[in-house]
């Protein structure tokens, strides 16, 4: 449930627990393939991980651009990921009379596989270290100027890389710049992209997310949180020789396992000032805003069958995020975290070279506090929670930005990012006006509450309207639900957008100057000094610790190592495996503990001893959702989908005693496909891979 990217410092636990001496024992770290701690793994688990193994798992692992991971598990492009990673696709393909989220999906033959309207899948083919080029470009500049030039340089390097890739053996690649170690290193990551992604199989949501929000981030657990996609090229299933073989019996207790994927975000390298900003400002604001939204959404979902159906996807999302953020809040209220962090900063500061960096970051956070609410509500768009507004913002900004040279644009409109924007903007996905009105009215209400009714922008926007009446006018009056109109406006550019009287476009235009003003303050006065301070701290850290450390997660490819293990919870041992029998005992018949009829019917056919979910010591975080758990031989032995409740503090530090990843066992996946869903050919395709088809 939880491991989609949400927000997230690099501290190695070693640094954390024992000052600055690097002596890795914990299964800590989300490591890059080019800096994987082979020796530590050999020492602890007696497993040899070589370059071939790393390259194989790298190219078999996929990034789902919506915020998840997947892996190729057949030669014909089949991708294994979580059910909760395809929820948006299922919702987009559903209608009033055909609820794919509720009832699941099973393509009995390839011609029945349905394209996910906005899904895009990427595979990391190569990386290139461009640290020297970036540092050369910004040398000697003041913080704000360096920040601007850094972005321009990255946009230029990306564009040059993408152009050059056309001659590469892999064909055209999409190049994205990646900042590792908080400005310690810059890389270009080169991805092969698949934008024709089709749904192959999804179980009922009731079994995929059995236990719902109450069980989310908890263990023992019984979630069949898997789904299957397939990537297509030129209308045909893509050839994916780099897929992972399937180890049907799964892993043994205590066996060493590896999780390969795209962890979204950790903050283990954050400074005290950055953590305080989270503790005091951004995290509480997030929790409060979204908790109220959760309440509104739940109550709205009870107003009818359609609201109930439409609310499923956003509710899963908001409840999962809230559990994460409330976990952040608890973690940040642990004074020991701050004490350890202060000690660490004192040590690095004493080591010399960057003393002023911490003060600069502290000052930048103070400035951020001053503008945070307005930045969040007006520039980040939190005040306008509506798909239609998101379209309008992209059309208005897209027209303005595309009229500029690539390097001069806001980074999200650089050439390298346009395919993602277009993939969302031009896709045909359902818009539910009632939902849009509910959500927009809520966000306008919060805009007024947080900025205050006398804020000039609030007065300008609301005038004599209430949040409800304005939301109704905007949603009711906008025609942007029509993808053809969006295409016309996107292609028509600045003149077409300027001529539009669509009320959402008008709104996006009206706030644009104020919003861009806030963005400029943020970039020059907050982001720039932080980036500069972080670069200096990164250098000091490399000088003190060497590079045998891992960078914070940032939704780029990482490998973590660990073993299948439970943990001790308040004196009680939690065993690492659950099995099917207890699922049947635990059902109540009522959501979220209801079993689909097909599962009740299949009970006698299923082995009650079938392992269901299990826990490992791997260090993972949101974005690892859908990651393959692989054994020392590179075979799939599970599917990561969550962490236990202690894993949430993993954004700030790794606690080997308690932090556990949670995975779906391969046996329950095959049993479900064969004996519950009658999906024999799909099961065979998965198992076929195990027989070495290439």
Residues that bind a copy of itself (CB under 8 A): 211, 213-215, 218, 279-280, 284, 287-288, 291-300, 302-303, 326, 329-330, 333, 438, 442, 448-449, 452-453, 462-466, 468-469, 588-591, 593
What's the min distance (Å) between Cβ of 213 and a copy of itself?
7
Shortest Cβ distance from residue 652 to a copy of itself (Å)? 16
Q: Are strands 256-261 and 236-237 parallel, antiparallel or unpaired?
A: unpaired
Q: What gap in Å lies between CA 259 and CA 620, rounded to an integer?
A: 8
Q: Which is nearer to a copy of itself, 293 or 641 (CB)?
A: 293
Q: Which is nearer to a copy of itself, 43 or 466 (CB)?
A: 466
Distance in Å, CB of 116 to a copy of itself, minimum: 30
The CB-of-73 to a copy of itself minimum distance in angstroms stands at 33
Nearest 5°: the CA angle 71, 74, 79 is 35
Tokens encoding 361: 């970051």
For the bound state, the minimum distance from the C-beta of residue 185 to a copy of itself, rounded and expressed in Å, comes to 34
Q: Which C-beta is closer to a copy of itself: that of 299 or that of 547?
A: 299
Residue closer to a copy of itself, measured from CB, 330 or 605:
330
Query: Mind spelling out the 3-state secondary structure of 223-269?
Result: CCCCEEEEEEECCEECCCCCCCCECCCCCCCCCEEEEEECCCCCCCC
Nearest CB to a copy of itself, comparing residues 542 and 593: 593
Separation CA 573–CA 566 (nearest Å) = 7
Q: What is the 3-state secondary structure (H, E, C) of 581-637?
A: HHHHHHCCCCCCCCCCHHHHHHHHHCCCCCEEEEEECCCCCCCCCCCEEECCCCCEE
Residue 197 or 297 having the CB closest to a copy of itself? 297
Q: Is 339 helix (H, G, I), strand (E, B) or coil?
A: helix
How far does Cα 617 stand from its chain's mean position? 20
- In the complex, the smallest distance separating the C-beta of residue 278 from a copy of itself, rounded to whole angstroms, is 11
Helix (H, G, I), strand (E, B) or coil at 517: helix
Residue (218 or 548) nearer to a copy of itself, CB: 218
- Shortest Å, Cβ 507 to a copy of itself: 18
What contacts 307, CB < 8 A, 6 or more positions away? Answer: 300, 301, 434, 435
For the bound state, the minimum distance from the C-beta of residue 285 to a copy of itself, rounded and expressed in Å, comes to 10
Distance of alpha carbon 210 from the chain centroid: 22
Provide the β-strand partners of residue 615.
662
CB of 258 to a copy of itself, least distance (A): 31
Nearer to a copy of itself, 129 or 469 (CB): 469
Distance CA 602, CA 595 (A): 11
Asked if residue 272 lies in contact with residue 556, where contact means CB atoms within 8 angstroms, the answer is: no
Q: 464 or 495, CB closer to a copy of itself?
A: 464
């Amino acid at each position: 449930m939880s491991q989609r990217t949400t927000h997230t410092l690099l501290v190695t636990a070693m640094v954390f627990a024992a000052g600055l001496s690097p002596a890795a024992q914990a299964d800590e770290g989300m490591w890059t393939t080019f800096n994987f701690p082979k020796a530590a793994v050999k020492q602890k688990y007696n497993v040899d991980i070589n370059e071939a193994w790393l390259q194989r798992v790298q190219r078999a692992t996929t990034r789902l651009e919506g915020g998840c991971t997947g892996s190729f598990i057949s030669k014909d492009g089949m991708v294994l990921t979580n059910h909760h990673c395809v929820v948006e696709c299922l919702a987009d393909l559903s209608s009033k009379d055909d609820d794919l989220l509720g009832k699941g999906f099973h393509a009995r033959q390839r011609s029945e596989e349905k394209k996910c309207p906005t899904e895009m899948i990427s595979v990391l083919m190569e990386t290139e270290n461009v640290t020297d080029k970036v540092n050369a470009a910004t040398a000697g500049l003041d913080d704000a100027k360096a920040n601007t030039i850094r972005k321009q340089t990255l946009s230029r390097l990306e564009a040059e890389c993408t152009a050059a890739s056309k001659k590469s053996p892999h064909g055209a690649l999409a190049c994205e710049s990646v900042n590792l170690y908080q400005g310690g290193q810059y890389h270009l990551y080169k991805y092969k992209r698949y934008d024709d992604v089709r749904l192959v199989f999804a179980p009922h949501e009731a079994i995929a997310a059995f236990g719902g929000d109450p069980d989310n981030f908890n263990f023992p657990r019984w979630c069949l949180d898997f789904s299957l996609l397939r990537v297509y090229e030129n209308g045909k299933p893509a050839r994916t020789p780099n897929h992972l073989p399937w180890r049907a019996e799964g892993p043994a207790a205590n066996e060493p396992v590896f999780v390969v994927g795209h962890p979204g975000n950790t903050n283990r390298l954050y400074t005290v000032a950055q953590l305080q900003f989270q503790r005091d400002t951004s995290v509480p604001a997030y929790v409060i805003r979204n908790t109220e939204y959760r309440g509104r959404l739940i109550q709205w979902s009870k107003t009818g069958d359609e609201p109930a159906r439409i609310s499923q996807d956003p509710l899963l999302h908001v409840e999962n995020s809230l559990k994460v953020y409330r976990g952040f809040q608890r973690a940040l209220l642990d004074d020991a975290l701050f004490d350890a962090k202060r000690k660490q900063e004192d040590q690095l500061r004493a080591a010399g070279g960057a003393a002023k960096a911490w003060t600069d970051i502290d000052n930048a956070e103070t400035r951020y506090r001053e503008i945070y609410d307005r930045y969040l509500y007006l520039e980040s768009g939190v005040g306008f929670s509506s798909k239609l507004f998101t379209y309008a913002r992209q059309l208005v900004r897209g027209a303005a930005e595309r009229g500029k040279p690539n390097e001069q644009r806001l980074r999200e409109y650089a050439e390298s990012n346009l395919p993602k924007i277009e993939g969302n903007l031009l896709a045909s996905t359902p818009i539910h006006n009632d939902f849009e009105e509910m959500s927009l009215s809520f966000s306008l209400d919060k805009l007024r509450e947080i900025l205050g009714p006398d804020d000039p922008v609030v007065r300008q926007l609301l005038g004599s309207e209430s949040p409800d009446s304005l939301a109704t006018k905007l949603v009711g009056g906008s025609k942007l639900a029509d993808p053809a109109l969006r295409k016309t406006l996107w292609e028509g550019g600045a003149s077409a957008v300027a001529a539009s009287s669509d009320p959402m476009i008008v709104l996006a235009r009206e706030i644009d100057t104020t919003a861009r003003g806030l963005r400029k303050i943020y970039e020059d006065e907050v982001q720039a000094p932080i980036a500069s301070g972080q670069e200096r701290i990164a250098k000091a850290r490399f000088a003190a610790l060497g590079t045998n450390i891992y960078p914070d997660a940032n939704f780029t490819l990482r490998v973590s190592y660990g073993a299948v293990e439970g943990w001790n919870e308040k004196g009680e041992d939690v065993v690492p495996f659950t099995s099917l029998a207890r699922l049947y005992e635990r059902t109540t018949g009522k959501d979220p503990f209801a079993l689909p009829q097909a599962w009740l019917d299949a009970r006698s056919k299923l082995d009650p001893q079938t392992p269901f979910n299990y826990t490992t010591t791997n260090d993972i975080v949101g974005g690892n959702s859908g990651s393959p758990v692989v054994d020392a031989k590179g075979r799939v032995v599970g599917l990561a989908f969550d962490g236990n409740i202690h894993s949430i503090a993993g954004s700030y530090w790794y606690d080997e005693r308690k932090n556990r990843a949670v995975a779906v066992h391969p046996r329950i996946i095959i049993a479900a496909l064969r004996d519950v869903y009658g999906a024999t050919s799909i099961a065979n395709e998965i198992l076929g891979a195990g027989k070495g088809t290439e």
